[in-house]
Amino acid sequence: MTYSHITRLIFMLREAAEIEIEWGISSSPFGNAFIASSPKGIVQLSFFETNETESYQQLMHAWPKAKLNRNDRLVGELSRQIFQSGTSEKPKIAPQGTEFQLQVWKALLNIPRGKTATYSQIAKLIGKPKASRAVGNATGKNPIAFLIPCHRVIRTDGSLGGFRWGTNCKAKILGSELA
């Protein structure tokens, strides 16, 4: 671990101790959505079918010292901003990850709506052409689904590949973007 990694980790832990995160549940076109937001922006957006427990546990693990408050009203408003077509302004995002993960997630933001890219294309884009597998791992750890469009990354053979919330959800999201 480099000095910059350690410095960033210390900063994140210090910041997490002082932060308040509002979280809640909302419906979305792709299933139930778990959304968590800090004053800096959305820190987690995930989908689930029947139980939000796993999403809540992920939030507690990522932000162990933060004060977590349930606020379904705020989350409902965020959900409308995120998922309603015609909404001009999307909410800010504030992902937490390693420098490499943040680099990958930033690259994902450059994939246009309705388009896809492969893991190897993303690896080349970030200047690490042999890091396709690491790009796949970083993509799979994306804490802010849909807004950081990990669903737009597919395998080199054109198949959908994996998606933390299932390939049916991934296909639905991609289909909605093509419509």
Considering the domain architecture, whether residues 103 and 37 belong to the same structural domain is answered as: no
118 vs 17, which has greater pLDDT? 118
Residue 163 within any structural domain of the chain: yes
Of 179 and 148, which is predicted with more confidence? Answer: 148
Q: Average pLDDT, stretch 156-164?
A: 85
Centroid of chain to Cα 154 = 16
Specify the pLDDT at position 137. 94
**107-140 burial: b if 16+ Cβ within 10 Å, else e:** bbeebeeeebbbbbbbbbbbeeeebbebbbebbe
Domain co-membership, 125 together with 170 = yes
Using alpha carbons, select from 158, 148, 160, 152 the residue that is nearest to residue 177: 152
CATH number, residue 154: 1.10.10.10
> 30 CB contacts (<8 Å, ≥6 apart)?
47, 146, 165, 169, 172, 173, 176
Per the listing, tokens 């893991």 go with 119
State residue 10's pLDDT score: 47
Give the pLDDT band of residue 9 (cuts 50, 70, 90): low
Catalytic option among 43, 147, 150, 169:
150
pTM of the complete model: 0.86
Nearest to 147 by CA among 82, 61, 81, 54: 82
Q: Give the pLDDT of residue 128.
A: 96
The per-residue pLDDT for range 89-139, each reduced to its tens digit, is 789 999 999 999 999 999 999 999 999 999 999 999 999 999 999 999 999
Range with lowest mean pLDDT among 44-58, 75-89, 143-157: 75-89
Q: Is 169 a catalytic residue?
A: no
- The CATH number assigned to the domain holding 43 equals 3.30.160.70
**Residue whose structure tokens are 């979305």:** 28
Residue pair 144/108 in contact (Cβ under 8 Å)? The answer is: no
| Model confidence pLDDT, tens digit, residues 72-95 | 999 999 999 999 866 667 899 999
Domain shared by 103 and 61, yes or no: no
Instruction: State yes or no: pLDDT of 21 exceeds 80.
Output: yes
Within-domain flag for 152: yes
What's the rounded Cα separation, in Å, for the pair 58 and 68?
12
Domain of 32? 3-83
User: Domain check: are 67 and 108 in the same one?
Assistant: no
Mean pLDDT, residues 48-72 taken together: 92
Q: Nearest-CA neighbor of 64 among 136, 9, 123?
A: 9
**How much of the chain exceeds pLDDT 70, in percent?**
88
Residue 81 in tokens: 């901003």
